Amino acid sequence: MNQTLLLLDIERYSDRTDVEQAYLRRMLYDIADGTLDAASIDESQRQRADRGDSVMELIDANASVSALLRALITELPVQLRATNQRASSSAQIRLRAVLATGYVSVDERKGWVGSDLNHACRLLDAELLRSALHERPDDFALCVSDSVHQGIVRHGHPGIRPEDFRPITPESKNGPLSAWLYGPLPSAGITPVGDALAAETGAPPTSPPGQAGPAGPGSVHVMGDQYGVAGGTVHGGANFTFGPRPGGNR
């Protein structure tokens, strides 16, 4: 069945004490509920799966995806800011989020199965999304799948500005993932691909600082691994493992 997927993950969850983890889980549930309520998605239209440091929401295809994306952009950051204002420094909550659509089946044991679900989970764990959150002052980083961008973002629905989304292709164990990051690309550890390759081969740099290298506009070299951003993919030599895991964040 073609449905909407919302994934929310707490940064550095496994670094917290049991008491702090219990608090963070309650706050995560409250924020998820508040965001879905703001999008007029009631409990009869959704199912929830708990992954410990994150939650996944499987949402009926009849629910408005544009309303949910608008709530993620506007309502969720407000709730997150209010929650952190009341919390101690050790109980601050920072979130990564993925919004996707696709085919997901629910088996007789209430398990969720589908390649679109796997894709969304790998996006949630992508290093590029983690880096984006690390640099965000508002404690929230969001990316959407290609299907959400094609069906919703690019049409410029009220409260959703297409120019605020940047194409990304983070690597996974199954190859590059195509998605769109809301807000600026992460800058930490990024150099133009041409300069990064020059450093590896000993050749002189081929592009001035801050400009694109030969792989095309927007191509970047990230912490030793190369990601194509709005300009194809340059494959690096690093190997990452993604997907649901029993433990918390690193």
102-116 tens-digit pLDDT: 998 787 777 787 889
Amino acid identity, position 229: V
pLDDT at 188: 57
The answer to whether the beta carbons of residues 129 and 135 sit under 8 Å apart is: no
184-193 tens-digit pLDDT: 999 854 433 3
Euclidean distance between the first and the last CA atom of the chain, given in angstroms as a whole number: 33
10-46 tens-digit pLDDT: 998 888 889 988 999 999 999 999 999 999 999 999 9
Q: How confident is the model at residue 1 (pLDDT cuts 50, 70, 90)?
A: low
Strands 140-145 and 95-103: parallel
38-92 tens-digit pLDDT: 999 999 999 998 877 889 999 999 999 999 999 999 999 999 999 999 988 888 9
Indicate if the pLDDT at residue 239 is higher than 50: no
Indicate if the pLDDT at residue 245 is higher than 50: no
pTM for the complete prediction? 0.73
Task: State CA 134 to chain mean position distance.
Answer: 12
Q: Do 204 and 83 lie in a common domain?
A: no
Indicate if the pLDDT at residue 199 is higher than 60: no
Range of the domain at 198: 190-227
Q: Do 87 and 26 lie in a common domain?
A: yes
Domain boundary among 166, 182, 198: 182
Q: Do 178 and 219 lie in a common domain?
A: no
The CATH number of the domain where 117 resides is what? 3.30.70.1230
pLDDT at 215: 38
Q: Do 117 and 12 lie in a common domain?
A: yes
pLDDT at 88: 87
CA distance 85 to 91: 10
CA distance 49 to 55: 6
Tell me if 242 is assigned to some domain.
Answer: no
CA distance 240 to 229: 18
Please name the residue ranges forming H helices in 157-203: 193-201
Total domains present in the chain: 2
Mean pLDDT for the stretch of residues 181-203: 57
Q: Do 165 and 196 lie in a common domain?
A: no
pLDDT at 208: 39
> How distant, in Å, are the alpha carbons of 70, 106, 142, 184, 221 from that of 59?
15, 12, 18, 28, 36
Q: Do 8 and 46 lie in a common domain?
A: yes
Amino acid identity, position 103: Y
pLDDT at 223: 39
Tell me if 159 is assigned to some domain.
Answer: yes
